[in-house]
């Protein structure tokens, strides 16, 4: 009988499938549906500093009598405390009701807020903290090293003030992903999530306006994640890797585990198919393990990563020479 139990960030998960931070994890009732479907853990919808400040500004802009600094300060404090308070309540209620790891998520852009939010989240009972870090570098005069250092500083500062494990959710926009993960691993991070799926702009050519591109991922999006999970899991050994983006079925779960992932995160598949897709993923994983004779995930995790396969260069190949070399 296959045992699907795994470890992530030092936490014991009954299986490696985590529902990532999204609107599906913003209420106790919704989380209950995910738990019933078999989720091994959940990442709560991110607490965004930017969103809190946006709410503050809306209230101030629409309100009257805010010519007095004291009134503005009161509104800022009340709105911020209310938003954070609701988030802390979600953590407490989820922990009280369900017996799975609850990972909080925050997205900030000012260093003092990262630390403040993290401390409150730990006090509320979260099992771990995922830092949803993203800085879009548009300064042509800045160096990539300075851009990367922002991530290192955030992780280091937060890890110093909380005792719960901290993971960094990263985007693909680095010149050397392996180096960044390695630096994070010695700066306090216990895990990394590869990769974050960001808002992407599109252009409406008829209205000449910016619109949002497709929000949900597709199965094909897994390919970039698979490559870097396979490479990074071989190169950096003292950090857990959670594979995210493009995990839409049980086969994708198996592939990411073979590549070396400690866990996988899914979101779009649940939006498209409902929580029952988690049950189907687990069934596929369990049946495959039984067929192969594996009793535990550790027996095959990383079996197909960069260091284990006969020709690791296949993970480095970037061009389609094999397929298109005869085309001129």
Give the Cα separation of 44 and 40 in Å (integer).
Answer: 13
Residue 110 has pLDDT above 60, yes or no: no
Q: What is the DSSP string of 103-130?
A: EEEEE-SSHHHHHHHHHHHHHHT-SEEE
Cβ–Cβ under 8 Å, residues 94 and 44 = yes
Residue 304 has pLDDT above 50, yes or no: yes
The H or E element spanning position 185 is helix 177-185
How confident is the model over 233-284, as pLDDT tens digits?
Answer: 999 999 999 999 999 999 999 999 999 999 999 999 999 999 999 999 999 9
In this structure, the dihedral spanned by the alpha carbons of residues 117, 240, 100 and 225, taken in order and rounded to 10 degrees, is: 90
Expressed in percent and rounded to 5, the helix, strand and coil fractions of the chain are 50, 15, 35
Q: Where are the alpha helices (DSSP H) in 236-327?
A: 250-259, 268-273, 276-292, 321-324
pLDDT at 109: 54
pLDDT category of residue 178 using cuts at 50, 70 and 90: very high
pLDDT at 141: 86
For residue 195, which of 218, 233, 222, 175 has the smallest C-alpha distance? 222
Give the Cα separation of 257 and 262 in Å (integer).
Answer: 7
pLDDT at 72: 32
pTM (2 decimals)? 0.86
- Percentage of the residues of the chain whose pLDDT score is greater than 90: 61
For residue 150, which of 110, 199, 193 has the smallest C-alpha distance? 110
Cis peptide before 236 (omega within 30 of 0): no
How confident is the model over 4-63, as pLDDT tens digits?
Answer: 999 999 999 999 999 999 999 999 999 999 999 999 999 999 885 444 433 333 433 444
pLDDT at 77: 39
Residue 154 has pLDDT above 70, yes or no: yes
C-alpha distance from residue 282 to each of 37, 74, 89, 230, 271 (Å): 9, 49, 30, 22, 17
Looking up tokens 């995990």 gives 247
pLDDT at 17: 98
- Percentage of the residues of the chain whose pLDDT score is greater than 70: 83
How confident is the model over 162-176, as pLDDT tens digits?
Answer: 999 999 999 888 889
Q: Output the average pLDDT for the chain.
A: 85
Residue 321 has pLDDT above 60, yes or no: no
Residue 104 has pLDDT above 90, yes or no: yes
Other Cβ atoms within 10 Å of 196 Cβ, number: 19
């Amino acid at each position: 009988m296959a045992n699907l139990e795994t470890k992530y960030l030092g936490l014991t998960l009954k299986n490696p499938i985590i529902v990532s931070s999204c609107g599906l994890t913003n209420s106790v009732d919704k989380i209950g549906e995910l738990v019933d479907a078999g989720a091994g853990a959940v990442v709560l919808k991110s607490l965004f500093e930017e969103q809190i400040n946006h709410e503050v500004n809306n209230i101030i802009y629409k309100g009257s009598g805010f010519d007095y600094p004291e009134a503005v300060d009161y509104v800022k404090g009340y709105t911020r405390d209310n938003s954070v308070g609701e988030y802390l309540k979600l953590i407490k209620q989820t922990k009280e009701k369900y017996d799975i790891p609850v990972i909080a998520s925050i997205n900030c852009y000012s260093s003092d807020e990262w630390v403040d939010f993290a401390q409150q989240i730990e006090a509320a009972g979260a099992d771990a903290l995922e830092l949803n870090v993203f800085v879009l570098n548009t300064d042509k005069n800045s160096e990539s090293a300075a851009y990367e250092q922002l991530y290192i500083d955030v992780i280091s500062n937060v890890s110093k003030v909380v005792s719960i494990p901290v993971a960094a959710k990263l985007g693909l926009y680095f010149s050397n992903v392996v180096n960044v993960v390695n630096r994070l691993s010695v700066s306090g991070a216990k895990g990394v999530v590869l990769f974050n799926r960001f808002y992407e702009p599109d252009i409406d050519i008829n209205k000449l306006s910016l619109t949002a591109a497709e929000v949900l991922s597709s199965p094909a999006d897994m390919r970039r994640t698979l490559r870097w999970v396979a490479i990074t899991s071989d190169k950096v050994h003292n950090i857990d890797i959670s594979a995210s983006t493009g995990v839409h079925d049980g086969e994708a779960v198996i592939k990411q585990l073979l590549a070396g992932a400690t866990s996988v995160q899914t979101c779009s598949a649940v939006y498209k198919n409902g929580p029952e897709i988690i049950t189907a993923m687990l069934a596929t994983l369990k049946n495959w393990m039984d067929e192969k004779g594996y009793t535990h995930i550790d027996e095959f995790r990383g079996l197909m990563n960069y260091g284990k396969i006969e020709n690791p260069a296949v993970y480095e190949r970037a061009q389609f020479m094999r397929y298109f070399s005869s085309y001129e």
